[in-house]
Chain A
Amino acid sequence: MGSDAPAALAVEAIDVFYGESHVVQHVSFALRPRSLLALLGLNGAGKTTSLHTVMGFLIPRRGRIMLFGEPIAGLPPAAIARRGIGLVPQGRRIFPSLTVAENLAVAAHGAATKAWSAERVFVTFPRLAERRRQYAGLLSGGEQQMLAIGRALVGNPRVLLLDEPSEGLAPQIVAEVARAVAAMKSEGLAIVLVEQNVRLALSLADDVVLLNAGRLAASGPAAAIAADPALIDRHLGVF
C-alpha cells in the first residue's frame, strides 16, 4: 500500500459519547481507495456509532476524520454527504411517503455528469424500475434495501458506508445485494461494510477491522483475519 496517496477515509483516534457513555474509544482505521473494509464486532461494539460519526450524525469528542486527506468531522451531515460520503443505514430508512423515483431524486447529486443516475439504478435493480411510482413505504424489505443502496449511489459518493445490508433479507436477495456490492467495488468505489454475516463480509472484504466493546480489537488483511479462527472466535463468538 503506497504511503503517498491519502486514504479514502481515515478515522484517527476518535472518541464518541452518548451522554456519559463512552461508546467508541480511541478507534482508528484507514480505508484504502478502491477497496472494501469490513467493520466487524458484536452488537454494541460501536460499529454503527462509528459509521454515524463519519456521516456527521454524531460529533467525535476527540480525534479526526479525513476524507481523501480533508478533515470532515464537525461538518453538518448534509455537507459531508455532498463532499462524497454515502450511507446505506441499518434498517434502510428509505423515505416512506416518497415514491421510489422521488427517493432517488432528492438524493441525486451531479447525476448528469457522473456515473450514477436514477436511470442507472433502475437498470441495476429492475424491480425498482417496475415500482418507481409506488410509495417506498409499500416496498418489500429486499426492495427497500435496493432502494437504500440506489439512494446512496445517486449521490455519486467517493466513499460508501453500508450498515448491515443483509439484515432480515431472504438468502436470494442477500446474494443479489452482495453482487451489487462487489460490482460497486470493482468500479472503484471505496466501501466500509458493517455486517453481522461474517462469512459474507470476509468474502467481500480486502481489509478487516474488529471492534470489541467500543475499542479496536484487531485489524489486518481479510485473508489473514479469516485464517485466524481463534481471533474471530474471541471477538465475534461465532463463525
Chain B
Amino acid sequence: MSAQFWLIQTLNAVAMGGLLFLLAAGFSLIFGLMRVPNLAHGGFFMLGAYLGATALDENLPFWLAALAAALGVGLLGAVLERALLRRLAGNEQGQVLATLGVAFIIADLCLMTWGGNPLSLSPPAWLMRAIAIGGFFFPAYRLAVLVLAVLLAVLLVALMEKTRLGAMIRAGVDDREMAEGVGIPVSRLFTTIFFLGAALAGLGGVIGGPILSAYPGLDTDMLPLALIVVILGGIGSIGGAFVGSMIIGFIYNFGIALFPNFAYVILFLPMIAALLIKPEGLFGRVPQ
C-alpha cells in the first residue's frame, strides 16, 4: 500500500480520535469523578446534534449554535443530577437503570421532535474546504475538530490539576465528608461537574454533526464508543481519555480499511485486553 494510504488513514484516525475525545471527555468526568455510569451520555450527544441542527436552521453562526446546544444539554444534565441521580447516590444499579430510562426518553423525544430522517449540519463556511497536505487534499473541518479536541483536553487538564476549583473537586472525590468538613460545598460542585460533562457531550454532538449528521440511533452508536475509550484510557483521567480516543481512532480507521469485516470486533479487542491486563485502564487512578 502506498505511503499516501497510510498518511490519509493516519489523518483520518487522529481526526476521529479528536471527535471521540469530545464525546468521551464528559463521560469520563461524570463517571470518573462521581462514579455515575451515565448511560444517557449518547443521548446527550445526539440531543446536542439535533439542537445544533435547529440552531443552524435559525441561521445562528456555527460556533454560537454549538455553544447554545452545549448550554441546553448542560442544563438538562444539571437538572437530572439534582432531581434524579442525587437520590440514587451509591446505588449503581439504580443509576444504570435510571440513566438508561432517560436515554430512552431522550431518544423518543428527539424522534417526535425532529422526525426519522437524518439532518445534516453544515460546518462554518471558512472550514468548508480542503487543505493540501503532501500532494493530496484533506478536509479542513476534520483538522479543526482535532485542534479543538487538543485545546479542550489542555483546558480540562488545567482546570482539574491547576485551579482551586479542580482541587476542591478532587478533594470531594477523595473524601466527601471531610471535604464538606473543611467548608467545600461538595453537592454544588457535583452538580457543576454534571453540567460540564453533559455540556461537553452536547458540544461534541454539534461539532461531530458535519461528519456524522444527526439521526435516530446516533445515541446508541456513540455510547459504546464512549465506554470503550474511557475503559481503555482509565476512569477519571482526562489525559487517559485523550490517549484512549486516539488509540480507538487509529484502531477503528485502520480496522475498517484493512479488515472491513471485523471492524466492530477489532474495536472491542483493546477494551477486553485492558480489562484483562490493566483493569484500571492505561492512566486510571487506583481507588484509594
Q: State whether the Cβ of B61 lies closer than 8 Å to any Cβ in chain A.
A: no
Contact of A82 among B171, B175, B183 (CB under 8 A): B183
The answer to whether A97 touches B285 (Cβ under 8 A) is: yes
The answer to whether B174 touches A95 (Cβ under 8 A) is: yes
Give the interface residue-count category, chain B. Answer: 20 to 34
Interface code A89-107, partner B: CB below 8 Å = 1, 0 otherwise? 1000101111000110111
Which residues does chain A contribute within 8 Å of B164, judged by CB atoms?
A: 102, 105-106
Interface code B173-191, partner A: CB below 8 Å = 1, 0 otherwise? 1110111111111100000
Which residues does chain B contribute within 8 Å of A152, judged by CB atoms?
A: 182
- Of listed B170, B182, B186, residue having the most chain A CB within 10 A: B182
The count of chain A contact residues (Cβ–Cβ below 8 Å) is 26
User: In the complex, what's the smallest C-beta–C-beta distance from A88 to chain B, in angstroms?
Assistant: 10
Give bound CA distance, A56 to B185, whole Å. Answer: 13
The answer to whether B181 touches A97 (Cβ under 8 A) is: no
Which residues does chain A contribute within 8 Å of B285, judged by CB atoms?
A: 97
Give bound CA distance, A177 to B178, whole Å. Answer: 21
Q: State whether the Cβ of B167 lies closer than 8 Å to any Cβ in chain A.
A: yes
Q: State whether the Cβ of A109 lies closer than 8 Å to any Cβ in chain B.
A: yes
Chain A interface residues toward B at CB < 8 A: 55-57, 76-78, 81-82, 86-87, 89, 93, 95-98, 102-103, 105-107, 109, 137, 151-152, 155
Give bound CA distance, A199 to B76, whole Å. Answer: 58
Which residues does chain B contribute within 8 Å of A109, judged by CB atoms?
A: 183
The answer to whether B167 touches A98 (Cβ under 8 A) is: yes
19 examples of A-B residue contacts, CB within 8 angstroms: A56-B180, A57-B177, A78-B180, A78-B181, A81-B180, A82-B183, A87-B182, A95-B171, A95-B179, A96-B174, A97-B170, A97-B174, A97-B285, A102-B164, A102-B170, A105-B164, A105-B167, A106-B171, A151-B182
Which residues does chain A contribute within 8 Å of B170, judged by CB atoms?
A: 95, 97-98, 102
- Of listed A93, A95, A152, residue having the most chain B CB within 10 A: A95
Which residues does chain A contribute within 8 Å of B98, judged by CB atoms?
A: none
Which residues does chain B contribute within 8 Å of A155, judged by CB atoms?
A: 182-183
Give bound CA distance, A55 to B170, whole Å. Answer: 21
The chain B residue sitting closest to A85, CB to CB, is B181
With A77-B177, A95-B174 given, is the CB distance from A107 to B183 under 8 Å? yes
Give bound CA distance, A183 to B9, whole Å. Answer: 67
The answer to whether A81 touches B288 (Cβ under 8 A) is: no
Give bound CA distance, A102 to B181, whole Å. Answer: 16
The answer to whether A96 touches B288 (Cβ under 8 A) is: yes
